[in-house]
Structure 1
């Protein structure tokens, strides 16, 4: 099959790129390994998840959220938005297409993308002048390696497979990782009666969603240093000094840190209150595992029935993308820093790999479509 652009991934990033290209009447095809688009949102996120950013910061290109939608959307709200987006732009992803390799041919100046069909088992080849990697930041969960983990006698689970805390009621559960997923899962576990602990590795910021909203609006008018100072002052009034509870704030402000590293602050959903009341125990970093016991770096040892790893994700693009010119790091993310992360050489692009949420997805999609429109005469001579 031959087309102008092959897009690998049918999540929000791939859909956004396809919509932007379609507005320019540029032929494109989306290859999606799952049996639906937006599979992360439709099949993998846990039941109680909500978007932590206000809806105006969570829009895909050329389509606003309905006015009646709550400012902070539920998972179901966002799935409905994706359904409307696909319908509005007439997007037709090809499902069950697992990409195994993508190679650039310097003679023909074409990309050859090999994808295995889930139904038939046959490998199809798609040829295109441009290739967009849109497989998402959360393609594969990362499980850290701890001494003795393979001999743990309880249940081991990555957060990507966590759906509900109901089945952990009454169990001793350790959540490893104190990002948004880890803190929210710990909150959910505690609500369902699990004896919950959370392992914290390093410093992190905790804000409310209202603080984040205010900060993002203010960034349009004042410097990030002023925004950080104001938000941190609000945090001191709202939460007080958290160091006595095992939570240390970074020396750099939350919005400065986000701009430099892409690392988001934790949005408190009520977890801090449970930590302060002693309902959730904060533990140090895991040092090792022996049977059903976990040892921490401060020497404390506790027994657990389950460990849930909220330890992040990796992109799988590096597993199948050939001739990327060394643009991807070991986690499958572009080595180029934002805002130059989206563009490679030879007609290669990356969408949704900037660690800047759905606003970053929209930005990438627009830039990619504009660039392909400009260079439709051929990818030769493009910067690498």
Structure 2
């Protein structure tokens, strides 16, 4: 779901929330059946021979017949009750291109992926006999022509296990059979838990306040942080009748967002950035601004009757192993109270506000202003001034454009590393097909968005090159000395944690020479009136804004600082991709009993909030003993 993270700003640059998940302390450790074989035999997209491709787009009836035939073959394997062998899986999985199987809780109670027939066989071998999936039933089939050489039938199906109602999607490609016939096999299979039996999500529960409200002294789940991650998780848990309490230091829900610069707006549409269970107000602009976001989060918490304890701070928490619960100490109005909670969730943001700012000699002699982008508000006061912005990701571009719009005498962006730039119109076209005013249900759209493994993001993006118009903009940027990084969403979001720009207009200002660029030359020092570079050049400056990002470690460090080293022994790393292509430490076992993490941009938290809620509920009822995790 890398595209879901390109929310105009990287997860690390905003007061978001992240999500990691954990097995309950009363559950046995997860099975260690990580796939030892390399999960990527070869990262490539299928190239289907023209002779195998249908001469014309397949009709719905033809797609349905192909999908049903494949499901019948899959069902025969699943219904045997035995662990499927690699030879058996050859009947349903692609031969011409290494297949993928991606599972979100349905079969493994974890976030897992396997690439290649041997790896998939190893993943499924212990799972199928334990999970006992029922025969899948076809929901829908459609023809998807991605390119001239990559076309597939997308089969959507439903199935059940004794514990859950599940959904699946398979991308079926045509291959040559033993006798020269066309056989459709799965290039990708995605299985996802949709509902936990006995604890089905009931949205009617969101219409009625809990008894006790935010004064409760014993809850099922205590969530630290009232951002989009904490709020959506609380809402998901409420639909399953779990008592929750959210604790935050701010006076009003949404206040975190008021700390960013006033020109801030999301760079992707309000439809793509919806929250679960509650749409944006109709008056919200296509690209929501600060006041829209802050106001909506407050409205969300009230309309869904979420229990939020504001102007309060969690001072510490201790885990009682005997009771399998946390005792959380909270400071409220200068007085301390204790709340007992079986589960504790940190939804305090992937990076919080731990700003990264390089040390530049001579700063104390500089007569102008120096600040991090966290402290920048608006460009009005810098009219007629010479401005420098260090950093060329989203915040750097936004601030440079704001300074220019407010009449700065000059604006120069300092590019330290090559930057990945994406055309907003391209993303609007890609996401707008599913996320729009009259779009399908969010859960359906999000499920389709989860099918492709993160490792394939770069290859899939190459299937949709920039338009001629944007190629001209890229050429103009390079002519101005702006270095472009090859587009790879998975890397820029999960590994680098930022360093990209979704172009909403600033690139054209650079191309037109209205905003200057100095690239690839390290900063040396400040003088009283300028910034000096290692090549001996200097730029006059009245204000220097360092849009240099935030620490990616602060969420994990914050957990360790609050709970202590002993309580967080075994806490997993946070962010970056594991060897199977899923984000580390988020929406999965965190390594500490009954402790969970939650953070990320709007689409990411929207999709994962229910997955995390189901794991918390399952943990409470002791259903995670047979989790098959990495």
Query: Given the alignment of the two structures, is residue 342 of structure 1 paired with residue 587 of structure 2, yes or no?
Result: yes
Relative to structure 1, is the Cα distance of residues 131 and 336 closer, same or farther in structure 2, using a 3 angstrom cutoff?
A: farther
Aligned equivalent of 1:140: 353
Paired residues for 1:61-100 under 5 Å = 61-66=276-281, 69-100=284-315
For the 8 Å contact 1:257–1:263, the answer to whether it is kept is no
In 2, the alpha carbon distance for the partners of 1:178 and 1:288 equals 18
For the 8 Å contact 2:494–2:575, the answer to whether it is kept is no
Aligned equivalent of 2:14: none
For the 8 Å contact 1:31–1:98, the answer to whether it is kept is yes
Aligned equivalent of 1:246: 481
Relative to structure 1, is the Cα distance of residues 299 and 15 closer, same or farther in structure 2, using a 3 angstrom cutoff?
A: same
Query: Given the alignment of the two structures, is residue 196 of structure 1 paired with residue 416 of structure 2, yes or no?
Result: no
Paired residues for 1:1-384 under 5 Å = 1-41=217-257, 43-66=258-281, 69-117=284-332, 119-120=333-334, 122-148=335-361, 150-153=363-366, 154-194=368-408, 195-216=410-431, 224=457, 225-234=459-468, 235-251=470-486, 253-258=487-492, 260-261=494-495, 263=498, 265-284=500-519, 285-292=521-528, 293-314=530-551, 315-316=554-555, 317-318=558-559, 319-322=561-564, 323-327=567-571, 333-334=574-575, 337=578, 338-339=582-583, 341-343=586-588, 344=590, 345-353=592-600, 357-377=601-621
- Tell me by how many angstroms 1:271 deviates: 1.8
For the 8 Å contact 2:423–2:466, the answer to whether it is kept is no
In 2, the alpha carbon distance for the partners of 1:197 and 1:313 equals 22
Q: Give every structure 1 segment of 4 or more consecutive aligned residues whose post-TM-superposition deviation is greater than 6 Å.
A: none
- Tell me by how many angstroms 1:125 deviates: 3.0
- Tell me by how many angstroms 1:39 deviates: 1.7
Q: Deviations over 1:67-89 (max 9, x none)?
A: 56443323333334323322221
SS at match of 1:249: coil
SS at match of 1:111: strand
The alignment covers a number of residue pairs equal to: 374
In 1, the alpha carbon distance for the partners of 2:577 and 2:493 equals 14
Q: Unpaired runs of 5+ in structure 1?
A: none
Question: What TM-score results when the alignment is normalised by the length of structure 2?
Answer: 0.54
For the 8 Å contact 1:205–1:265, the answer to whether it is kept is yes
For the 8 Å contact 2:254–2:298, the answer to whether it is kept is no
SS at match of 2:485: coil
- The answer to which of 129-138 and 150-159 deviates more is 150-159
Relative to structure 1, is the Cα distance of residues 123 and 312 closer, same or farther in structure 2, using a 3 angstrom cutoff?
A: farther
Relative to structure 1, is the Cα distance of residues 80 and 6 closer, same or farther in structure 2, using a 3 angstrom cutoff?
A: same
In 2, the alpha carbon distance for the partners of 1:211 and 1:336 equals 25
SS at match of 2:271: helix
- The answer to which of 85-94 and 294-303 deviates more is 294-303
Relative to structure 1, is the Cα distance of residues 84 and 32 closer, same or farther in structure 2, using a 3 angstrom cutoff?
A: same
Higher RCO (C-alpha 8 Å, min separation 6) = 2
In 2, the alpha carbon distance for the partners of 1:92 and 1:310 equals 35
In 1, the alpha carbon distance for the partners of 2:242 and 2:265 equals 34
SS at match of 1:86: helix
Return the index of the structure with the highest Cα Rg: 2
For the 8 Å contact 2:316–2:328, the answer to whether it is kept is yes
Cα RMSD (Å):
2.9
Relative to structure 1, is the Cα distance of residues 373 and 193 closer, same or farther in structure 2, using a 3 angstrom cutoff?
A: same
Q: Deviations over 1:291-312 (max 9, x none)?
A: 4332224432223222212111
In 2, the alpha carbon distance for the partners of 1:291 and 1:346 equals 53
For the 8 Å contact 1:8–1:30, the answer to whether it is kept is yes
